[in-house]
Amino acid sequence: MTPLDDPAHRAFLLNDARAALRFFDASLRADGGFDVLAPDGTPLPRGPQELHTTTRMVHSYVLGRAIGHPGADRMIDAGMATLWNRHRDTVNGGYVWAVNGDDSKLAYGHVFVLLAASSAKLVGHPDADRLLADVSEVLETRFWEEEHGLLADEFTVDWQTFSDYRGMNANMHGVEAMLAAFEATDNRLWLDRAGRVLDFFTDHTARAFDWRLPEHYRTGWQVDPEYSGNPMFRPAGTTPGHSFELGRLCLQHWDLCGRPANDAPQRARALIEQAMADGWRADGGVVYTLDLAGKPAISDRYWWPVTEGIGAFASLIKLDARAADAAAYDRLWTFAKSHFVDAERGGWFPEIDEDGHPTARQFNGKPDVYHALQADLYPLIDGLSRPVEGLAALDQK
């Protein structure tokens, strides 16, 4: 029996997901936006409403709806309305990064709009098709670089180029969104484009860097080893949590393609295993970043790399259960339960200090339900793809 088959573990996963959803229910504001919540569940002082927050709430509560969470519809409705009425730029097109804040147009934000629209379509939301059509056009005409088969990264509010930066992170989440769009529409374009992005990063690039993923690139998609931007959102080097995530997405794409006879499973495993070997600290947890040779650079421990490791090893277990995969999965969950999971109030603490206690150096409150919720729910479904359908079937058993 694998850990994914253990009834007690499965019950824990479902209970933790439900507790997180109940906690984040309180984030919905009267104006339809979403507050960041303090660890005790009270709203923190309001800042700009950021696009990734709105979109991830829609996606997360679609997952919640699939497991029968009461009130999921009101969260989805609020997020969809905020995307269309507040984030959408009716003058220049596209979606601003932050309502009442940064009005730049980022690929990272736009692919999350695609994810939200696709997830909403899977549950029949009445506004899903218009959002999906609108953001698809923007991605096609503004961000997609056909020559490279990748997404450009950033523009001003009126679509002026202000940097030559290209990033792995936006493209990785682009794969996530494209796969969701294919699941929602059966439009092969999304599957093919996700495959092109995956080929660049998991076949061409990771193979050349000993199965690590450089984060930063120049206009022609040459690795930029000297780049160091925002230490939270664009740190130098590589990020083990992203290798976990892209490895899982590589398996999802392969599954949706009908499991062809290629080396995608081997590439996914190489990424995931290298990230665990490089990133796992002796005292537990996954370091935030590495240099391009695999040496820890930023050793801070956040919740989301652990959640992505859980999802990645769950996928490997489903594909080809090995004792080492089960051991890694158990190690990640043991650490998460003892350091990140808030068993009293629900949700996960986002970071811990050197002594292993919750802290707030980079993150205020509990900023995100998306990562932990997927770590709870994706291991519960039988397959490697179509999680909304898998969870809905689970809830009906």
Place of tokens 């794409």: 253
pLDDT at 351: 97
The SS3 of residue 100 is coil
- Report the C-alpha gap between 306 and 127 in whole angstroms: 34
Residue 323 covered by a domain? yes
Residue 125: active-site member:
no
Q: Are 92 and 120 within 8 A, CB to CB?
A: no
Name the β-bridge partners of 144. Answer: 151
Eight-state DSSP code of residue 178: H
148 is catalytic: no
What residues contact 184, with CB distance under 8 A and at least 6 apart? 118, 119, 121, 122, 128, 132
Q: At what angle do helices 240-256 and 264-279 cross, to 10 degrees?
A: 160
396 domain residue, yes or no: no
- Cα separations (Å) of 96 from 81, 102, 241? 15, 7, 26
Whole-number pLDDT of residue 395: 56
Structure-token pair, residue 54: 């709105």
Contact present, 114 and 177 (Cβ < 8 Å)? yes
Q: Where are the alpha helices (DSSP H) in the chain?
A: 7-25, 51-66, 72-82, 107-122, 128-138, 168-185, 188-198, 206-208, 240-256, 264-279, 303-320, 323-339, 370-377, 387-396
The residue behind tokens 């929602």 is 184
| CATH number of residue 373's parent domain | 1.50.10.10
* 147 within domain boundaries: yes
Q: Give me the amino acid identity at 121.
A: K
The answer to whether position 343 is within a domain reads yes
Q: What Cα–Cα distance (Å) separates residue 79 from each residue in 72, 73, 87, 117?
A: 11, 10, 10, 10
The pLDDT tens digits along the chain (397 residues) read 899 999 999 999 999 999 999 999 999 999 999 999 999 999 999 889 999 999 999 999 999 999 999 999 999 999 999 999 999 999 999 999 999 899 999 999 999 999 999 999 999 999 999 999 999 999 999 999 999 999 999 999 999 999 999 999 999 999 999 999 999 999 999 999 999 999 999 999 999 999 999 999 999 999 999 999 888 889 999 999 999 999 999 999 999 999 999 999 999 999 999 999 999 999 999 999 999 999 999 999 999 999 999 999 999 999 998 999 999 999 999 999 999 999 999 999 999 999 999 999 999 999 999 999 999 999 999 999 999 999 999 854 4
| Nearest alpha-carbon partner for 77 in 156, 41, 131, 38 | 131
> How many domains is the chain built from?
1
Residue 22 is assigned to a structural domain of this protein: yes
Q: Which two tokens stand for residue 6?
A: 């253990």
Residue type, 271: L
Residue 397 lies in a domain: no
Within a domain: residue 357? Answer: yes
- Range(s) of the domain holding residue 49: 3-390
Which of these is catalytic: 59, 216, 242, 253? 242
Strands 150-151 and 154-155: unpaired
